[in-house]
Structure 1
C-alpha cells in the first residue's frame, strides 16, 4: 500500500492530487513505525504522525495560495502563478513559498524538523529502509521539487530572499546531519543522520533553481536510494545475525560477516562520493550546477558538500575499520557463532551493490534522461 501511495505522489498531474496522496502516505506508514508495539515504537510513531500532519498543514497553506493566485493547480514547468493576480503581493507569495517548503520539508527532514527520523529507526529494518531511502523522505523532497519548479516557478523565485532562505536552511542541514552522524553511536541512528544530510543534497539542487540543479537533485534522489537501502540492509543483517546495535560492538565483525561488511564498505565509498560509484556522479552534478548558477551562496554549498564528504568518511569508515581491524588484543572467540546470513538476505545486497557500481561507471543514460525531464521533454 505504501508503494502504491508513493506512486500516486509521483504520478500526480496537479498539486491537489499530490497533496491528497501525500497526506495518505502519513496514515499508511504510521502503523509500520508502530509495528513492534514497544514503548519506543509507539512514541516514535506519535512523533512521526505529529510532525507529518503539522508539516502538511503548512504545505496546505501553499496549496490554497496556488489555487487563489495560480492559473490552475496543474504541474506546469515554469510555474502557474498569475502575475496580474499577485500584483504587489510578491513578498507575501514568497513567504508562502518558504512556509510550504518547510511544510513539505518535514518529511524531507530539513532542520529543525528532523528529530522524528532517527527515532523512527526503532521500526524493523525493511521499514526503516522504506522510510529513510525510498517512500517517505523522498516524497517530501519530490513534493518540494514539484512546488518549486512546477507550481511557483523558478522565474518567480530565483534571485529572491526566499531562494536565499531555503538554500541556507538546506546547506545547514547538510552539515548538521553529518555532524550528528559522527557523534551517534547507534548503528541505525547513525545511518538516519546520514539520510538527513543526503536529503538536503537533493534539496540543495532544487534551491539552485536551474535545469542542471534539477538534474543533480533527480540524480541524487535515485542514486541515494540504492546507497542507503544497501546500508540499512547491511545494518539489519548485522543486527539479525549478531544482535549487536552499536558501533563499538562491531569490532572484528568483518571477519565473521565478510560479505555483509564488504558490501557495507562499497555503500560507504558510494555515500562519500568516491569516483567510480553512484554517489560521485550525483554530487558532481550538484557541484557543477552550483558553479554554473552564478549564485554566491551556492558556491558556499560546494564547501558544504566537501565538508559533508569528509564527515561521511569519518562516520562510515569508522564502522569499516572497526569491523576489519579490531586490534591485536581483540579476542575473536567473543564472536563465535556469528556468520553471514543466508542467500535470501544476501541477494538484495549484491543487487544494490552492482547497481551502485554500474550507476557510477555508466550513468550517462540516466543523467541524460533527467536532463530531458528538466528541459520539459517529459
Structure 2
C-alpha cells in the first residue's frame, strides 16, 4: 500500500509544470529475486521464511565453525561450490528439505520473480515511511501545497486509509522555525509592552504605541502581493525589523503628546500640535527608509534574491504603518480620552466636557 500511495502522489506532483526531478526513497536501481509460496506449500510444512533461509544458506553460506588463528577467529562457511552459485539456472535443481528429512524441488513449492528491491527501510515514529522529494523551477511551493491540501489529499487519504503524511525538509524546517519565532516574538512583544508601560506609567499607552505592528504586517503582505513574491522565512525577519521602526515612530508621537499634556496643554490641542510638529520627521523617516531599500528590491542578481523577502517586508511594512502613525494613533488617543472622561463622569456623576469642546467654546482652559 505504501508503494501505491507513493506512486499516486508522485503522479499528482508530475501534473505541475514547475515540478521536476520527482523521486522517492523507495526507488532503487537493483532488482532482486522474490519468492512467493504456492498454495500447497504450507501442507508440506514450508513457510516463506523457511524457503528463503535455505536458499540463503546454499548461496551465501551458513557459519558452522570458527577457528582461532593468530589471535583472530576464522569463520568457516558451508555453501554451494563457486561455479554453482554463479548461475541462476542452478535454482531449477535446488532441493528444499522438509522437517522430516524429505527433499522437495524448489519450483514445486515457490514461484520466483524479479522485482525491484529495497535498499533500506525508513521509519519515522516506529512506522515504515517513504520520503518524496522534488525540485521547483520557481517559488510556487505554497501554491502547490495549497492545491494539494484542497483538491488532492482528501481523496488520496480515502484511497489509502492506513497512510499518514507529514512535511519534512524545507517545509518541516519552516514549520519548526514558525513555532519558535512565534514564541520568541510573543516574549519580545511582552517585554516591549512592559518597558513602554514603565516609561509612560500607563497600561493603555503601550497598546496605543504597538497598534502599528499589525499594520506593518499588512504592509509586508501587500508588498509581497504587489511584487508577486511568496512569504518566505526571511520575510519574517523583515517584519521584526519593521515592527521596531513603526513602534519608534509611534513612540516619538505619543511622547510628544505626553510632554505637551504635562505642560497643561489640552488633549485636543496636544494632538493637533504633536501631529503638526512630528508629521515631517515621521514621514521623512519612513519615506527615506523605503527609498533606500528600493535599489535592493529592484536588484535582479541571484545573490540578492534571498534577501529580497526581508527588504520587501521591511519597506512596505514601514510605508503602510506610517499612515497609521499619522492618522490612526491620534484618533485612538482621542477615543481613549473620551472613554476616560466618560468613565470619570459615571464615577463622579459630573458631566464631563467632550474632547475638543473647550477648544471650540474657549470655556474650559484645562481642556
Give the structure-2-normalised TM-score: 0.31
Give the structure with higher Rg (CA). 2
Give the structure-1-normalised TM-score: 0.30
